[in-house]
Amino acid sequence: MKSEQIVLASRPHGLPSSENFRVEKKDLGPLNDNEVLLKSWYISVDPYMRGRMSNAKSYAQPFQVDQPIVGSVVAKVIESRSKTFIEGDIVSGSLPWATYCIEKAENLRKVDTQAAPPSYSLGILGMPGLTAYFGMMDIGKPKAVETVVISGAAGAVGMVAGQIAKMQGSYVVGIAGSDEKCKILKEQFGFDEAINYKTAKIMTKIIAAACPKGVDVYYDNVGGEITDAVIDNLNFHSRIVLCGQISLYNNTEVPMGPRLFPKLLTRSILVQGFIVSNYSDRFGEAFAHLTQWVNEGTLKYTETIIHGFDKLPDAFLGLFSGKNQGKMLIETD
Ligand code: NDP
């Protein structure tokens, strides 16, 4: 069996480009016991993968140059020498960016195709959904009378986090990068207000106008100047859910910004960074809630699906210019 795979050709300096990736052909050998042959179906591109392309110390191991990029994939079992899976099963796992691969059964989870479309296990019923759930419910803890602001609001995590805050009765304001995204957040996802940060002249004032009672919970997906502007509007005893900093991921130097710790101190603000895997022992609880809310229609969801395995690098790069609404995925067929 021949497979195509995409390897990291070189480590990016600043914003990655297609030059940092290379498509290669690979011969897959025969299956050993407890292994399955997989055909990739949906492949996820995620902002955290940028961190793994550098060799800086982090919570996830760096990708190796000339080795395949690895990420979340939904795949079909084509052949099995495992007692756990049979041909035709749909599984998910941390797998190479490859058209086909061989994997040990113990590293795979079966996807329940009756519960939801299989691609959802890479988004709302996968890592991004779990991230939104724990960040909002365990750290943000919004109350009905409170105002919640979410940056990166039209991405995979942000749009779920905003809806979960709405379910608590809060007043929810999203920040996103186009008028179209802002319209969708309000009309389809129930946000009370949405701010286009690309056309907003003075973000601090625009956030103040959108949040007349100040901000009680800030779910931060982007960092940088947007976050500086939200911090100006935070109330006493407010909470910052420090989830992501995508606006800084391609920086080659640590940027000098306003030093905001005095504001955090004098307003008794809680800042809590987290990685979703911190909550791995509670994934079952979150998964059950998210599945129920999706099936009831309480949680709405959207995906940007790009067709063609060879489009993976472009899809990944598109995350940094806001090409996605909701979860960005590749469908290989
Ligand atoms: P998505 O890939 O779905 O969306 C990313 C969005 O970020 C883009 O669509 C774009 O939208 C916005 N963006 C890109 N560059 C900038 C910029 N310079 N300034 C402002 N906005 C920008 O992201 P996810 O929802 O999957 O992830 C959101 C964040 O959460 C990321 O920072 C990610 O690293 C983090 N994360 C953290 C986890 C954890 O465990 N802590 C787990 C999962 C994700 P726009 O059009 O609005 O610019």
* Nearest CA owner, ligand 1 atom 1: 155
Distance of CA 101 to the CA centre of its chain: 24
* pLDDT tens figures, 309-332: 999 999 999 999 999 999 999 999
| H or E segment to which residue 148 belongs | strand 147-151
Q: Is the CB of 290 under 6 A from ligand 1?
A: no
Predicted pLDDT of residue 59? 87
Closest Cα partner for 227 from 251, 247, 206, 208? 247
How far, in Å, from the CA of 244 to the mean position of ligand 1? 7
The residue ranges of the chain whose pLDDT is under 50 are: none
The type of residue at 298 is T
Closest Cα partner for 126 from 296, 244, 276? 276
Q: Is the CB of 275 under 6 A from ligand 1?
A: yes
Helix (H, G, I), strand (E, B) or coil at 22: strand
The backbone torsions φ and ψ at residue 260, rounded to the nearest 5 degrees and listed phi first, read -100, 0
Mark residue 224 as left, alpha or beta (left: phi above 0; alpha: psi -120 to 50; beta: remaining): left
Distance of CA 193 to the CA centre of its chain: 22
Q: How far apart are CA 194 and CA 184, in angstroms?
A: 9
Predicted pLDDT of residue 134? 98
Predicted pLDDT of residue 282? 98
pTM of the prediction? 0.97
How far, in Å, from the CA of 37 to the mean position of ligand 1? 32
Predicted pLDDT of residue 296? 95
User: What is 293-310 written as a DSSP string?
Assistant: HHHHTSS---EEEEE-GG
* pLDDT tens figures, 187-200: 999 999 999 999 99
3-state SS track over 35-80: EEEEEEEEEECCCHHHHHCCCCCCCCCCCCCCCECEEEEEEEEEEE
